[in-house]
């Protein structure tokens, strides 16, 4: 296809510009009869993917006007859940409005719905990880990508700094978002063993090289995939689309990554003794996804400092019962301890849990305090996994997210803190 790139770094991409981009994209596929759209789930509510999905769906429905039943284009939507819980009716309403009928939404079940495309050889994984993870990794995707009869699959997602893959999206949306147990488990573990802080904000991270191999060997020229890559920012709770890059190759991802590294990585001149971050309650309801507040801010916290995670919506640890139990059993106890358990076989078939527990620890460098509502998550629960606890309603009398401004704040008594209001939208780094 003729790839489409649009950057509006200052003012953002307008609705009319977005319409034109989607029109030009769809015009290149005049004979399609069956379409699948793969956006992220609601934990990526800043991605602009919900709006783009609605635009695509409405335009296809307009194309269907006047056509007979046999001529109509059928469109399905499969949120890239990965291991996350299915979207609620409220989340579906916020993301897709009344545009996408509920019977056109397919729920991806990562444990049962996948088919194996092939594997990444152990020697390739060893080379990628410098010998740290010399294991074969099966490549799995939802079977409908292979046998669903789709003429075109539109993968829509946001490129933003990410703790596992360095810069999120592109083929991660497929191999993790619609992937199966082995790829999700082992790719996360490979990344964690190689070191999260070496991956954060890096385009060609170890996990990205793994997904690139799978893309090149099992998708390119085989599965009819088109990637729509977004770059967004948020100011005053308003999300703005700054870049949109559409195509079948890796180039849209590369363009989006370059813009995201410019707009979504925030360089802080010095480390902070105390960082406070806020987890939007409808977006982040578990520590599994809420720990973006830990990952994305850790590089600006002083040794011996403190991170306070304001988490009014957090009600559990894992996005599913299995991962919740693993977190409660082993806790955020540091890389050395988790790796020792891993070598003992404790995490067999559950390597994503080991990776998550490693990444959610400060390794003793700073303390992490989770401020939750006691009726959702108690002191005993939070402290049992290795974090400190605070009562959300009490601590926000001092650290009120509605009153704090992004960046440095000095409180009335002279305490200086650094505040991050939307950790999912960026990466904060101190370049020392």
Residue 236 has pLDDT above 80, yes or no: no
For 80-206, list the strands marked E by DSSP. Answer: 114-120, 137-142, 152-158, 161-162, 166-167
CB-side neighbour CA atoms (13 Å) of 184:
25
Residue 243, pLDDT > 80, answer yes
User: Is residue 68 within 8 Å of 58, Cβ to Cβ?
Assistant: no
Q: What is the pLDDT of residues 70-91, one digit of tens each?
A: 899 999 999 999 878 888 899 9
Residue 344 CB: number of other CB atoms within 10 A?
9
User: What is the predicted pLDDT for the residue at 197?
Assistant: 83
Question: What is the CATH code of the structural domain delimited by 268-429?
Answer: 3.90.226.30
Q: What integer best gives the mean pLDDT of the chain?
A: 94
- Percent of the chain scored above 90 by pLDDT? 86
pLDDT band at 419 (very low <50, low <70, confident <90, very high): very high
Please list, in sequence order, all residues whose beta carbon lies within 8 angstroms of the beta carbon of residue 16, skipping any fewer than 6 positions away.
Answer: none
What DSSP element (H or E) covers 307?
A: strand 301-310
CATH class of 4-263: alpha beta
pLDDT in tens, 158-185: 999 999 999 999 999 999 999 998 999 9
Please, which pLDDT band fits residue 198 given cuts at 50, 70 and 90?
confident
What was the pLDDT predicted at 196? 87
Q: First vs last Cα of the chain: how many Å apart?
A: 43
Find the mean pLDDT for residues 377-399.
Answer: 97
Domain boundaries, the chain: 4-263, 268-429
Query: If 0-12 CB within 10 Å is exposed, 13-18 middle and 19+ buried, where does residue 129 land?
Result: buried
Note the pLDDT of residue 221: 95
Supply the pLDDT for residue 283.
82
Give the predicted TM-score (pTM) of the model.
Answer: 0.91
């Amino acid at each position: 296809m003729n790839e489409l790139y649009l950057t509006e770094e200052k003012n953002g991409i307008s609705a009319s510009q977005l319409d034109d981009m989607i029109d030009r994209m769809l015009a290149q596929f005049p004979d399609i009869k069956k379409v699948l759209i793969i956006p992220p789930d609601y934990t990526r509510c800043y991605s602009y993917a919900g709006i783009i999905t609605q635009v695509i769906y409405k335009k296809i429905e307009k194309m269907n006007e006047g056509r007979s039943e046999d001529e109509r284009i059928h469109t399905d939507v499969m949120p890239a859940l990965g291991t996350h819980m299915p979207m609620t009716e409220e989340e579906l309403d916020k993301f897709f409005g009344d545009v996408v009928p509920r019977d056109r939404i397919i729920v991806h079940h990562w444990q049962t719905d996948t088919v194996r495309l092939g594997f990444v050889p152990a020697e390739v994984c060893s080379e990628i990880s410098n010998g740290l993870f010399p294991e074969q990794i099966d490549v799995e995707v939802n079977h409908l990508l292979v046998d669903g009869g789709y003429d075109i699959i539109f993968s829509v997602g946001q490129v933003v700094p990410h703790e596992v893959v360095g810069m999120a999206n592109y083929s991660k949306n497929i191999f993790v978002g619609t992937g199966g147990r082995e790829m999700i488990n082992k790719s996360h573990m490979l990344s964690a063993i190689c070191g999260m802080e070496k991956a954060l904000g890096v385009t060609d991270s170890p996990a990205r090289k793994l997904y690139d191999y799978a893309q090149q060997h099992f998708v390119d020229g085989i599965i009819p995939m088109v990637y729509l890559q977004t770059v967004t920012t948020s100011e005053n709770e308003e999300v703005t689309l700054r870049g949109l890059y559409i195509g079948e190759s890796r180039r849209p991802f590369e363009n989006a990554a370059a813009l995201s590294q410019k707009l979504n990585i925030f360089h802080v001149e010095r480390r902070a003794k105390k960082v406070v971050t806020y987890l939007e309650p409808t977006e982040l309801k578990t520590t599994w996804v809420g720990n973006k507040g830990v990952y994305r801010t850790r590089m600006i916290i002083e040794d011996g400092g403190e991170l306070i995670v304001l988490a009014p919506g957090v009600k559990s640890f894992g996005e599913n019962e299995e991962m919740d139990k693993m977190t409660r059993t082993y806790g955020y106890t540091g890389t050395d301890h988790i790796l020792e358990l891993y070598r003992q076989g404790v995490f067999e078939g559950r390597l994503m849990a080991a990776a998550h527990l490693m990444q959610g620890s400060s390794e003793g460098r700073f303390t992490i305090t989770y401020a939750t509502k006691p009726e959702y998550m108690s002191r005993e629960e939070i402290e049992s996994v290795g974090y400190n606890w605070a009562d959300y309603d009490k601590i926000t009398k001092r650290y009120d997210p509605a009153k704090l401004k992004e960046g440095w704040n000095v409180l009335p008594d002279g305490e200086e803190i650094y505040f991050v209001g939307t950790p999912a939208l960026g990466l904060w780094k101190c370049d020392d």
